[in-house]
Structure 1
């Protein structure tokens, strides 16, 4: 079956006064779940150097929480943007657009982005982002302090689209589980991967993965049931999950359509032995 490509877009606002307070929000030593409705007006953040912008911080380096990355959902109003979006010269980033048509200027070249656009920005990149359209734009902004290695060059910037990258079927799954990889896993210049993982209805991770990579998972589409440490948690489009290194994880797609998420993980570097 062929599905149209859709991405969840947060809309802010507030739950009504008659909404149930009980929710799936969880914060534990091994994982966290931030449900979609948490991304409301009163939880939005703002940054200096931007106009017409607000964002929701899903993850940030914090003792007992995310250690290697930060992740924002950014909303840019018509006419909004920034000429100096990144304040840290050592930060690399991935931008993934879920709504609108913002314009990325990267090393002097303009790129008109659209839903599904993906940009990798190495540390020290000269870039700006502006929304010149009449429609609000929304995108994920994932940041990590790049870990340099002697003998390896910093990987170059690039811009692509999910629609132009063929997903790779996971072995033995007959397409029920696939991964859209934007970076060659053999390219050791990269110290993080940001992929899209797709499960067809009924597809699953059939064993508890327990490994060194820290994860950030934002559900782009559909719903599923996720094993987080020892808890099974139902998740849906717009939910975010953070998984600490070695947190056991598994899942199965639990709806009538695809279950898809944007996945961050740290890769290809020694485990640090000092703080």
Structure 2
């Protein structure tokens, strides 16, 4: 199986972890605890499973390191929508009709039932955050393929705060039942208040360090960690550290009325 950080064998320090898992509520999975998984469809890819229904999520997400020649033969499936975000490197994605090259900051959304074929487009490893979810159709609306790069966007000042920036991956249209964003906090910045809401999140930290409140307790987090936040979990972040913002790529369900 192995570990994402390749830290194995005899250790000099006592065993310990920042991991906190409260199923159906929230989870913090530090980068040192992430294991490599063997999953059909991934070839020459070091992939770690993150959020799943076993944790309480209504989606599945992963962090994957595509090695030289690494590929996936068809991510997704019938009724499943998918997202890929390139944390670093270069990735080729294809829907079988058109190929697109995603470089660092690039992302692809494929609508339900359109499988995403992926291949590393460079010799060095390419790190990719992946997400899949069963699409919730809405009569009269539909989703469509989206290709973009955050480097081509002007970020939004989150709730008017100049040191908290937001990038949206998908348009605000009812055809989409979810979105993926990047939220970035300069050191010392924070949410304006502790959020409590219906939407759930999976979040992979792509830079920096911070303190995150989850269910009214504060936890240290840093680049490479994964967070799961179920519906109604109180949540907020403070950025700490020096030299780089606390930033994370995260998913959110959207644009649908809760079922009774």
* Equivalent pair of 1:47/1:54 in contact (CA under 8 Å): no
Aligned with residue 114 of structure 2, among 109, 125, 132: 125
Q: Deviations over 1:44-98 (max 9, x none)?
A: 1122233212310011112xx3331111111222112133333x21110110012
* Equivalent pair of 1:216/1:240 in contact (CA under 8 Å): yes
Q: Which runs of 5 or more structure 2 residues have no equivalent in the other structure?
A: none
TM-superposed CA distance for 1:11, in Å, is: 5.1
Aligned with residue 205 of structure 1, among 184, 187, 191: 191
Q: Deviations over 1:197-250 (max 9, x none)?
A: 011111111321000001111111001101100210010000111111000011
Secondary structure class of the residue paired with 2:90:
coil
Q: Give the corresponding residue for 2:159.
A: 171
- Length-normalised TM-score, structure 2: 0.92
* Equivalent pair of 2:183/2:248 in contact (CA under 8 Å): yes
Secondary structure class of the residue paired with 1:163:
helix
Aligned 1:136-215 pairs, distance under 5 A: 136-153=125-142, 155-173=143-161, 175-185=162-172, 187-215=173-201
Secondary structure class of the residue paired with 2:103:
coil
* Equivalent pair of 2:63/2:130 in contact (CA under 8 Å): yes
Secondary structure class of the residue paired with 1:102:
strand
Q: Give the corresponding residue for 1:21.
A: 15
- Length-normalised TM-score, structure 1: 0.87
Count of aligned pairs: 255
Structure 1 pair 184–158 and aligned structure 2 pair: CA distance change class (3 A): closer
Runs of 4+ in structure 1 displaced over 4 angstroms? Answer: none
* Equivalent pair of 1:197/1:262 in contact (CA under 8 Å): yes
Q: Which runs of 5 or more structure 1 residues have no equivalent in the other structure?
A: 1-9
Aligned with residue 49 of structure 2, among 22, 36, 57: 57
Q: Give the corresponding residue for 1:7.
A: none
Q: Give the corresponding residue for 2:257.
A: 270
Aligned 1:215-234 pairs, distance under 5 A: 215-234=201-220
* Equivalent pair of 2:51/2:57 in contact (CA under 8 Å): no
Aligned with residue 5 of structure 2, among 12, 17, 29: 12
